Every structure is written in C-alpha cells, then in structure tokens.
Structure 1
Amino acid sequence: MGDWRALRRRLRLAGGTGVLFLLVAILSELARRSSGLQAIWPCNALLLGILIARRRSWRDMGAIVAGGLVGSLAFHLGRGDPAMITVLFCVANLVEGLLALLVLRRLCRPGELFDRVSDVLALVFAAVVSTLVSASIGGFALAMLDRTDFAAGFGQWYVTGVLSQLVIAPVVVILAQIRDRRRMRRMAAQPIAELILVLGSVAMVTAAIFIWSALPLLFLITPMVLFATFRLRALGAVAAVGIVAVIAGYASELGYGPILAASPDPATRSLLLQLFVACCFLTALPVAAMLTEHDLRAEQARQMGDRFKAVVENIGEVIFRVDRNGRWAYLNPAWEALTGFALADSLGTGWLDRVGATDRTELDDRLQSMLAGGDTGARQVVQFGTAAGVRWMEVYFQGLRDPDGVVLGATGTLRDIDDRKRLEQHVMTAKRRAEQRAREATQLASTDELTGIANRRAFMRQLDRETAGAAEFGWPLAVAMFDVDHFKRVNDRHGHPVGDKVLQLIAARAVAAVRGGDLVGRLGGEEFGILMPGATAEDARMVAERVRLAIEMPRIGDRDLPAVTVSIGIAAREDQRDSAQLLAVADAALYAAKGAGRNRVQLAA
C-alpha cells in the first residue's frame, strides 16, 4: 500500500512538472515571437526551483527530472525542431538544472536560499557554473539550426540562463516556502494592506518610468526594490524584481522606456534589459538574505530570552540583582514564595535589611570588595528574616559588569537551606551523643567499677603493647604486682563495705605515688599491678617503695578505716620474657615478699 502511494505521488510529480514546463515554454516562445526579445528562459530555472524548494528523496527528484524531460521533448518536437536538435536542447535544459542542483546541494541547505547570505552566493555560483555547460550545448544546437553563430548563441543562452536561474528559481522557492507553516506565520505578520501598498508602489514607479516618463529615471527603480525588500524581506525582493521584469519587458515590447533609447538594435536592448533586471536582483536578494538572517537571529534570541525567563520565573531559588547602592534591583517570583514578602514592597530596599546582625557585616564587606573590583564571587550561609520567622539561607553572588568591565552591582541566588541546616545540626548532635556514649562504653569496658582504675583486661592489653614495643626498640620495662596483707581479716572484722573503701583508698594512693605515664590496674580482688614503661629494676624498686609507704601512711580523714600494708613484687623485662612470663615473674616476687614477712618490696631473682 505504501509503495503504491509513493508511485502515485511520483507520477503526479512527473506529470505536473512536465505540464508546467511545457506551458511555461510555450508562453516564453509566444513572447519571443511577438516581440523578438527574450529576457529570460524560465523553464530550466523552473525545474531547478522545483528540485530545491523542498528536501526531496532522490526518487522524487528523478520523477521531477523525468517530467521536465517529457515537457522539453513535447515543446521542441511540437515546435518542429529536428530530432537531433531536440535531443541537444533537452540535454542542455536537464544538464543546466542538474548541475545547479548538485552545486547547491554541496554548498547550502535546500529550501533555505534566503536565510543566509552564503546561500544566495551559492545560488549565484551555481547559476554561473551550470549555465556554462548548458550554453555550450545550446549554442552548438542554435548554430546547427542556422539561427546564429556559436558565439552569439552561447552568449544569448548564457545570459538568459543565468538571469532565469537568479530570478525564477528563487520565485519558485518563495512560493514553496509560503506553503510552509513556519514561513506562513512569519509572512502573516505583514499586513495584507502593507503588501499591496509596497508592491503597488513598485509597480507604479516602474510603470511611470518605462511608459509615461520621457526622462531617464531608471535609477529610481533600485530604491523602490530595496524599499520592498526592507519591508517584506525575501518576498518583497523577489516580487519587486518580478514586477520590474514584467513591466520593463512589456514596455520595451511596446516601444517605451529608457532601454529603447540606449540602442536601436533589438539584441542589444534585450541584453541591456537582462542586465538591468539582474542588477536589481543582485542588489535586492543579498539584502533580503541579510535581513532574514538578522530576523532569524532576533527570533532565536527572543525564544532564548523567553525560555530563560520561564526558567528564572519558575525556579525554586531566588535570583536577584543588587545595584551599587546595595538595594534590590531585581527579584524573581520565587522571592514571594521563599520569604512571604511582596516583590513590589521589596524592590528598592536594602538587601541586608533582613540578614541577621551576626552575618550582616561580613556580607556587606564582601559586597563592597566586589564592587571595588576585588572578589569575583562569594558564598555564605546566613540567617535571613522571612514572614514566617528566621531561616537559614545560602546566598551566592558575583559582580555584574558592563562590556567595559565597570562593576554595575551584583547578581546571584538566594536558597533556603533551613531544613538541611537543621538536619545537619540534628546529625551533629546525634554524632556527638554517639561519640560520648562510645567513649563511656569504652571507659566502662576498660575501667574497674569499684576503684576507677584500669581493669585486668585494659592492664593486660597495655602490657602486651608495651612488651612488644620494648622488644622491638630495646627500651627498659618493669612490672610490679602487689596485694593487701591479711585483707581477708579486714573483710571479716569490718565487713565488705569497709573492705571496698580500703581498696578504693589503696588505688587512689597508688595512682598518686607512681610516675606520670605509669599505669595502675586492679587485677582482681585485692591484687593490683603497676606497669612502668622505660623503668629499670632500680627505678621500679623506688616507685614500688613510694607506693608501699603511701599506703602504710596514717589515714588522715579516714580514721574509721583500718590500717593496712601491701607486699610488692617487681620483675624487669629481659630478652627472653614476653608479657605473660613478665607478669608471672612479678607474681613470684610478690609471693617471695609475703614469705619474707610482708609489707616489703621484693625484686625478682
């Protein structure tokens, strides 16, 4: 079904092109025979215009070329041209259109010959190049018909061919673009009354110069064509040049106008008329292209501005501009949603009026530095007063400069981060609480609950570390173990609560008596340990003696507690001893002290 529809479309293209080519050729031949003048041969340019008016597939273009070939054959055979001459004319017509099509496909975008000046230049180049080949074939055919010599035939074909492509092809493209919706909207912006008035003025001035005026006022036509171009863009240029060509050709046929005064020779007058129309075209069409290109850029800028405005007015952040006096010069609609204050009431007020006092000075200093040409941008979190209360805001701003680099003020954004800020504060509070609980848990896990000093696990862990360090680096290390002499008697006579207080007092006096960096730990029951990094056996003995004496001292302020003594055993690290062996040697020294009478310090043997 789809292939059948495509075939029908191509058949319509071929048939329509062939009929149109034949009709235009007949009309052109009738005009030539009646006046002897032929300013343009529109058939080839008509074919080119149909090919480039829209983006077509190669099959569609093949159908158009086939239709043009059939129309050309019908015309020349109907005119009575010999078969060989007919073939040459048909080849010349098709070669001219196809070569121009290939050049334009290479250099510009089909269907957009008036949107850029480069497209117009590409059309001129295509017309000049393609007509060189077709004029060579056509001039040869005209010479074979004995109408003229090759040079004259080549010149006549070349001039009419170039002029036809430059005038007729753009007309066809313009007519095709009128059917395009985008172009229709652009052209609809021009009132019909203005269209009639402008083109009517061109027609009246041209008719006055060519028919009624006896003065050489041909130069007045160019300003009128340009006027139509400025008002109507490409449509005005093509329509005005077409009007001028029709009126000038008709007046010259009737024997009027300044062209006839230039020369009595019809061929010369025809050439002058062609050159005049070409000059009008080459003057107006590039101007139309420049104006169209300017209009397209202006439309793109307007659309970009509309899109930017839509983004700015619908974004959730406040976009602002501040003048050199520090006053709001612009605020987007997000201001009202964010702060609860009306735009009309806020514009012109100081931009720091609602900033918290603690942040105001720093923010103003940054703005003044920026206005002086210093800082290029700044970001700060501030407390900002809104209708709903004080909220945390993040403000970012940078200097706004004119093309000469002069600072006009500042522009930036204001973003509500109150929820994020409060969440951060909540997270930080929770983190601090978790860290505090972790520290407390660690302390509980490594601290003896009764005495507040290191428990056995913490003491042994630290002993392992110190033993490994001493073995690696060779520094001295000593360990002391002590327990309370006859502590069972204290519990039996005074009770366990008193015994616990005695243990607490012993721990406190031991901690006070050791060196800084030494570790006192409760190893279990009434047994304690002292870890002394960097201590020799003699150093350890002196520390242990201080501990023994401190515990033996009278209990000033604690007279209800019984007096107790301790026995202490000391072991200094030797190369062969690990932490377990070191502690076992100290324990053996402790039992040796007890066996020697208690309340004494005993070094390991």
Structure 2
Amino acid sequence: MRFYQATRWIFPRSYQLRLFTLCFLAVHLPIIVFCVAEGVRGRWDWGIFLTLLAATLVGTCAAVAGLAALLAPIGYATDLLRTLQRGERVPNIPTGGEDLVGELLAGVARASNENAARISNLTDAAGKDMLTGLLNRRGFTDMAARTLRAGTNSAIALLDLDHFKSINDRFGHEEGDRVLTAFGRRLEEGLRRGDRAARWGGEEFAILMPATELDDATEIVERLRLLLRLDTAAAADRPPLTFSCGVTALQDYQSFTAAMARADEALYDAKRGGRDRVETRA
C-alpha cells in the first residue's frame, strides 16, 4: 500500500496508465543507461543504439499489450462490483485461477450470490403477509401483473370475514390472529393449483383466478363459503366463521384496478344483502 500511495500522483485517476508508465520506464532503462554511458565516454555507437531502440520499442508494445490483457479481469471485476453496489443482478462471473485475480473474481462471485439471495429474501418478505403467510396487497398486485395475459378471461374475488370484530372483542386479538391464519390456510387448500390468494388487509382477502369465466369463479367461491360453514375446526363457543364476497371479471392487468373496485362494490352488496353470501359484478 505504501508504494501505491506514493505513486498516486502518476495518473491519479487511472491505475492502468500508472502501471503502463512504470512498465515504460523499466523497459527503457537499458537504452537510458546506454545513452548516459555513451555520453560519459564521449563517443556514440549508432549500431548498438539502433538495436537497443528497436528492442525497446518491441518490448514496450509487448509489455503494454500483455499488461492490458492481464488488467482486463480486474476492470471486469470492478464493473461487476459497481453493478452490485447499484443493487442490480450481475451476469455469470468467469472463474479465475489460483492467483490474486482468481481470488478477486471468486470474491465477486460470492458477493454476487449473497446479494442475489438477500434481494430474493427481501423481495419475498416484502410481498408476503407476516401473519398468514399469504401474499400481501403488494405481492398480490405484483403477481397479478405477471400472471394476467391480455385477452384472457379471468376473475377476481374480494372476501371479508363476517363479524370479525366481535371475535377480537369477545375472544381477544390472539384468537383473532389464529382465526385469520386458519382461514388463510383453508383458503389456499380450497383453491385450484393456478389460483392465488392474498390477505388484502385486515380481515379482507383477495383471490385471483386466471383463465376463469365469471360463472366458474362464482362456483369456486360458493364452494369455499359452504365448506367454511361446515368447518368443524371452529371453536365450540362461537358460531361458524362465514364471509361475504364480491366477484368480478377482468381480461388483463390494465383492468386490474377497475376490477378490484367492482369486486369491492359487489362485496358491499353482499354485506347489505345479509352477509354470508357471494355477489357478482360483471
């Protein structure tokens, strides 16, 4: 580090040019010594001088080309580190040898893998509800953006647990959390393989049913509603858990926001209609 710090005044913004400068001086040292010696002796041998000059020029070109090639992996690793600092994923990292550059590339590869795993974990955590393990609102919206294809008839359902506040008031929030977790699990178990459920917020849940007609989606939610009423896992000292639901159709992600608004309107129709029912809104 001392020599590195001491030579920083030579091309302070370019490590490569600093190396080239030192290499240039080292390669030209023989011809410099020859010129000094000839000056001291008071004579000049052009044959030897031209031979040394030609050899020096060839050696300089070869050294510069070789150094540039040897420095290329370091420059590549530096670019990869800048990419990691921006939080971006890096392409495949070449494997080096058992030398300093190889260790540098291996270190960048380890940092890249750890960074990718960290980003993946953070992304996964940001898109999931901590209580139920389902997608949260953000995760559900991101999933819908990836899943929905233009021109494909799909359906969205918005569910709200009936009288959930009374469970919290009577049995406490710990029991309320248990009910939400159990409902989320039963919701996932009752859906088809391609359907995705999410906790939309509070006691509200959302379901995306890709490539599904509105009538079929309504039947799926109705089956879930009836199964929940027959659930024997509910506590004996409280009535069966029920939900109200609004179902609507959509064709692509561009209509997602409007579809959620329609599903919300249908949900409130179900609540006004007496709860424990499914309403649709085309």
In the superposition, the TM-score normalised over structure 1's length comes to: 0.30
1:450 aligns with 2:131: yes
Question: How far did residue 488 of structure 1 move?
Answer: 1.0
User: Residues of 1 paired with 2:118 and 2:237: CA distance?
Assistant: 35
1:527 aligns with 2:204: yes
Q: Which amino acid aligns with 2:186?
A: R
Cα 1:550–1:421 change in 2 (3 A) is farther
User: Residues of 2 paired with 1:566 and 1:520: CA distance?
Assistant: 15
User: Residues of 1 paired with 2:124 and 2:44: CA distance?
Assistant: 82
1:602 aligns with 2:282: no
User: Residues of 2 paired with 1:507 and 1:441: CA distance?
Assistant: 22
Q: CA deviation digits over 1:83-117, x for unaligned, max 9?
A: xxxxxxxxxxxxxxxxxxxxxxxxxxxxxxxxxxx
Q: CA deviation digits over 1:352-409, x for unaligned, max 9?
A: xxxxxxxxxxxxxxxxxxxxxxxxxxxx976xxxxxxxxx2xxxxxxxxxxxxxxxxx
Q: Which amino acid aligns with 2:169?
A: D
User: Residues of 1 paired with 2:268 and 2:190: CA distance?
Assistant: 22
Q: Which of the residues 187, 194, 201 maps onto 1:517?
A: 194
> CA contact under 8 A between 1:481 and 1:529: conserved in structure 2?
yes
Q: CA deviation digits over 1:509-538, x for unaligned, max 9?
A: 112222223221111110111111211012
Q: Which amino acid aligns with 2:242?
A: T
1:546 aligns with 2:223: yes
Q: Which amino acid aligns with 2:214?
A: A
Aligned match of 2:24: none
SS in 1 for 2:246: strand
Aligned match of 1:425: 106
User: Residues of 2 paired with 1:436 and 1:561: CA distance?
Assistant: 46
Aligned match of 2:120: 439
User: Residues of 1 paired with 2:123 and 2:280: CA distance?
Assistant: 34
Match runs of 1:2-81 below 5 Å: none
Cα 1:590–1:182 change in 2 (3 A) is closer
User: Residues of 1 paired with 2:170 and 2:222: CA distance?
Assistant: 28
1:586 aligns with 2:267: no
Aligned match of 1:223: none
Question: How far did residue 460 of structure 1 move?
Answer: 3.2
TM-align CA RMSD: 3.9
Aligned match of 2:89: none
Cα 1:420–1:587 change in 2 (3 A) is same
User: Residues of 2 paired with 1:561 and 1:504: CA distance?
Assistant: 19
Q: Which amino acid aligns with 1:591?
A: Y
Q: Which of the residues 234, 240, 250 maps onto 1:573?
A: 250
Aligned match of 2:178: 501
Q: CA deviation digits over 1:403-455, x for unaligned, max 9?
A: xxxxxxxxxxxxxx2x2222222221111111111112212222122112121
Cα 1:554–1:430 change in 2 (3 A) is same
Q: Which amino acid aligns with 1:538?
A: D
Runs of 4 or more consecutive aligned structure 1 residues displaced over 6 Å after TM superposition: none
Cα 1:561–1:570 change in 2 (3 A) is farther
User: Residues of 2 paired with 1:446 and 1:504: CA distance?
Assistant: 17
SS in 2 for 1:578: helix
The number of aligned residues is 204
Question: How far did residue 464 of structure 1 move?
Answer: 5.6
Q: Which of the residues 152, 157, 166 maps onto 1:480?
A: 157
Match runs of 1:267-416 below 5 Å: 392=98
Cα 1:182–1:539 change in 2 (3 A) is same
> CA contact under 8 A between 2:96 and 2:105: conserved in structure 1?
no
Cα 1:497–1:420 change in 2 (3 A) is same
Aligned match of 1:329: none
Q: CA deviation digits over 1:3-42, x for unaligned, max 9?
A: xxxxxxxxxxxxxxxxxxxxxxxxxxxxxxxxxxxxxxxx
> CA contact under 8 A between 1:498 and 1:561: conserved in structure 2?
no
SS in 2 for 1:483: strand
Q: Which amino acid aligns with 1:534?
A: A
> CA contact under 8 A between 1:484 and 1:567: conserved in structure 2?
yes
Aligned match of 1:564: 241
